[in-house]
Amino acid sequence: MAGREAKGERVRLICRVLDGEGIPVSDAMIEIWQADSQGKFNHPADPGSECADRACRGFGRLATNEDGTCVFDTVKPGRVPGNGSTLQAPHLSISVFARGILKRLATRIYFAGDPANDEDPILALVPSERRPTLMVRADPHNPGNWKFDVCLSGKDETVFFDV
């Protein structure tokens, strides 16, 4: 998703997909779309794309393994402008596809503990008790590793967006 030359803080995202019974989904495909470390997209709709980091393509796609897991190596995205005068917290846009998912499920990954989360206009639309489902958490034993579970349904159902 981001070459070795890409600027910014390296992060390893360990994503796992679980079904409503907590069983790992081993036939899912996850796609990620994100800004570079400065919050710029390599895309003409971004007025800042001229100075986007060419080494950060921003797109990744992986199939989950038997444990329902896949691992993306990337950089932490910067803050992207929101609508109006807002500034979004660092986040990645996620699509989940699998057998039994008739229409792609879209969600976002935010970084737990990032103070910018409090100012994020999209998180503000999510009931506070469900916001934790959108947080990727640092693995205390492995610096740079972050873990995110997508729960398709059930008690800890991830917040999904109508994009």
Partner 1 sequence: MPRVVPYRRPDPESQPASLYPPYRATAARAPRRPLIVLPHTLSEVTGPVYGDEDISDTDRDLTRQHAGEPLGERIIVRGRVLDDGCRPVPHTLIEIWQANAAGRYSHKKDTHPAPLDPNFTGAGRTLTDADGNYEFVTIKPGAYPWENHDKSWRPAHIHFSLFGNAFATRLITQMYFPGDPLLAFDPIFQAIPQERARQRLVSKFDLESTKSDWALGFRFDLVLRGPEAVPFEG
Q: What residues line the site for partner 1 (CB under 8 A)?
A: 19-21, 23, 25, 27, 31, 33, 35, 41-48, 57-59, 80-85, 88, 91, 93, 95, 97-106, 108, 121-122, 125-126, 152-153, 157-163
Separation CA 136–CA 78 (nearest Å): 15
CA triplet 142, 145, 150: central angle to 5 degrees? Answer: 130
Residue 11 or 28: the one with the smaller Cβ distance to partner 1 is 28
Residue whose C-alpha is closest to residue 13's, from 79, 89, 57, 75: 75
Residue 45 or 113: the one with the smaller Cβ distance to partner 1 is 45
Residue 101 or 138: the one with the smaller Cβ distance to partner 1 is 101
Residue whose C-alpha is closest to residue 42's, from 106, 92, 62, 33: 33
- Least CB distance to partner 1 at residue 10 (A): 21
Residue 57 or 145: the one with the smaller Cβ distance to partner 1 is 57
- Least CB distance to partner 1 at residue 35 (A): 7
Rg (CA), the chain: 15
Residue whose C-alpha is closest to residue 152's, from 111, 112, 108, 105: 105
- Least CB distance to partner 1 at residue 147 (A): 21
- Least CB distance to partner 1 at residue 98 (A): 6
